Amino acid sequence: SSQNLSEEFAEAARQLKKEAPRIQFGKMDVTHQHDLRKEFNIQTFPTVKFFVNGSREDPIDCRGVRKASTFITWVKRRTGPSTVLINSTDQAEAIIKADDLAVIGFFRELHNDGVEVFCETARDVPEMPFGMTASEDVCANYGIQRNSLVVFKKGKPVHNEVLEDGTQNKLGLTRLIKTFTLDLVTEYNIETSVKIFDVPVENHILLFTPTNSETFNEIYENYQSAAAEFRGKILFVLVDTNEARNGRIFEYFRIRDIDVPAVRILNLTSDAKYKMPADEVTMENLKEFCQSYLNGKAKQHLSSEKIPQDWDKMPVKVLVGKNFHSIVF
């Protein structure tokens, strides 16, 4: 909530006052400040923007940061080096073991495009520590090919991304790395729903199934395998249809008991929904569905009658599936 964020923001300001007195924190209620809202294009609340060198042109958006400690890291990485330079295996181990997650860049030399993309990504992912090294000893110790980014989870390498060919962009890497704050497949519930929407991946695939069915284990295994292949591009979510508290999400996707197991893709930006054409939840069908969606070939699923022309005429509006989400939410 805005209140929580405001308190964390104030805590970050208190802590940084000693360490970095040049960085000023301010808050503003823009309810009646229409000119400022327009100038800085503020559409959602709360919004945090960082102004650099006294200029009001192009402030940097600080998105998805909710804790004081993360605010502090975010600001420090914007005003100083965004990654720790690692010269020894001991240093590397210290970073890798200090937190659940750590990201290390292993490079041939510390001045190339890959390093730049890596450092920029670190600025946008303040939730986890970033280190980089060009030390032959460190690279040899982990047996990692140079010019690659490695995500460590609980001290073990779980993902290796080669930064050699220059095709990686900052946004793609940011999305990929942030997905490691979630499980490969995240079960939807009240606690995880906030985390799911915090990860900046706009394509979500949802598997609706009772988790106590006889076929569940087999289906779930297929779903996890597909999730590993599309990590960073599509977020994989599991919805237990036995859980009564998930009722609203079934209604939103118009899922009935006879439909399960069902697989849907949702694009958060356009709110478009897609239904997997095949009924069987096999690895092959899931991969084909995800690939055709990413290639722009999947057909939208419109489980709704047409919006009536006069839906907006009377005080009580007429809602159908196609306008339900945009009007209600």
Tell me how long the chain is. Answer: 329
Q: Where in the chain is the domain with CATH 3.40.30.10?
A: 2-76, 84-179, 183-295
Cβ proximity of 164 and 215 under 8 Å = no
pTM recorded for the entire structure: 0.80
**CATH, range 2-76:** 3.40.30.10
Cβ proximity of 317 and 327 under 8 Å = yes
How confident is the model at residue 24, as a pLDDT? Answer: 87
* Average pLDDT, integer, range 144-151: 91
**CATH, range 84-179:** 3.40.30.10
State the architecture of 183-295 in CATH terms.
3-Layer(aba) Sandwich (3.40)
Confidence of residue 299 (pLDDT cuts 50, 70, 90): confident
Q: Tokens 């032959």 label which residue?
A: 136
Rounded to whole angstroms, the Cα distance separating 65 from 306 reads 40
pLDDT at 66 over 90: no
Confidence of residue 238 (pLDDT cuts 50, 70, 90): very high
What is the secondary structure of 179-236 as a DSSP string?
GGGS-SEEE-SHHHHHHHHHS---EEEEEEE-TTSTTHHHHHHHHHHHHHHTTTTSEE
* Mean pLDDT score of the chain: 89
Rounded to whole angstroms, the Cα distance separating 47 from 285 reads 40
pLDDT-wise least confident of 93-102, 274-283, 312-321: 312-321
pLDDT at 145 over 70: yes
